[in-house]
């Protein structure tokens, strides 16, 4: 069996690699205007001391602008029943519109940051900006984790059990997702 050259179909190449989990990123402006948006490029940075995470963001977004202004953000890991909320939070809306309200998400105070945590998320990770790296048409934002919470019923000391307790949601395209290995769509 031969090999098929597919570089000319570059958009397909991106689907060949393991996608990263969908997350919600909460930020606020200096004027304390709250913002929340879904992103599908998120990873840990293999640093445990200090713990670091990274996410890729277009510099055209309110989220990027807010991180540049305040140097902080919160990553929320959504639960499997949140596909509608993820899609609604991703709608292109005027800066005056609250994505928290639009997506029916409940903000609550972080102990350490100005931006809000998301009650519906199983995990909230509070981060301060460390650095960014230009990666084509996106910026890779690296944040140092300064605080974190998790739903009590999902926490486990055992790493394997803890990992199993956290839902894996991957964005495939449009309103199509993989949730714990099963294809799901929102709005069809």
Give domain limits for the chain.
20-183
pLDDT at 96: 83
pLDDT at 8: 64
Distance of CA 128 to the CA centre of its chain: 15
pLDDT at 176: 83
* Cβ density class 44-73: b for 16+ within 10 Å, e for less: ebeeeeebbbbbbbeeebbbbbbbeebebb
Average pLDDT over residues 17-46: 87
Torsion of CA 98, 120, 32, 99, to 10 degrees: -10
Most confident option among 89-98, 141-150, 169-178: 141-150
Quickly state the pLDDT bin for 14 (edges 50, 70, 90).
low
pLDDT at 133: 95
Q: What is the pTM of this model?
A: 0.90
What SS3 class is residue 8? helix
- pLDDT of residue 20 exceeding 70, the answer is yes
> CATH for 20-183?
2.30.110.10
pLDDT tens profile 49-89: 999 999 999 999 999 999 999 999 999 999 999 999 999 99
pLDDT tens profile 95-117: 888 899 999 999 999 999 999 99
| C-alpha closest to that of 52 among 125, 121, 115, 134 | 125
């Amino acid at each position: 069996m031969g090999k098929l050259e597919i570089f000319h179909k570059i958009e397909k190449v991106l689907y060949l690699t393991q996608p990263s989990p969908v997350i919600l990123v909460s930020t606020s402006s200096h004027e304390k205007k709250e913002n929340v948006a879904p992103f599908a490029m998120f990873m840990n940075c293999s640093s445990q001391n200090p713990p670091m995470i990274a996410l890729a963001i277009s510099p055209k977004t309110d989220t990027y602008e807010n991180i540049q202004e305040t140097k902080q953000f919160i990553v929320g890991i959504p639960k499997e029943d949140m596909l509608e909320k993820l899609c609604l939070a991703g709608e292109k809306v005027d800066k005056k519109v609250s994505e928290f309200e639009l997506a029916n998400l409940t903000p609550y105070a972080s102990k350490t940051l100005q931006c809000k945590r998301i009650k519906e998320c199983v995990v909230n990770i509070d981060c301060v900006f460390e650095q960014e790296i230009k990666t084509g048409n996106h910026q890779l934002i690296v944040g140092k984790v300064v605080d974190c919470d998790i739903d009590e019923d999902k926490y486990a000391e055992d790493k394997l059990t803890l990992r199993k307790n956290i839902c894996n949601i991957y964005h495939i395209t449009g309103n199509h997702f993989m949730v714990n290995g099963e294809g799901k769509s929102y709005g069809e």
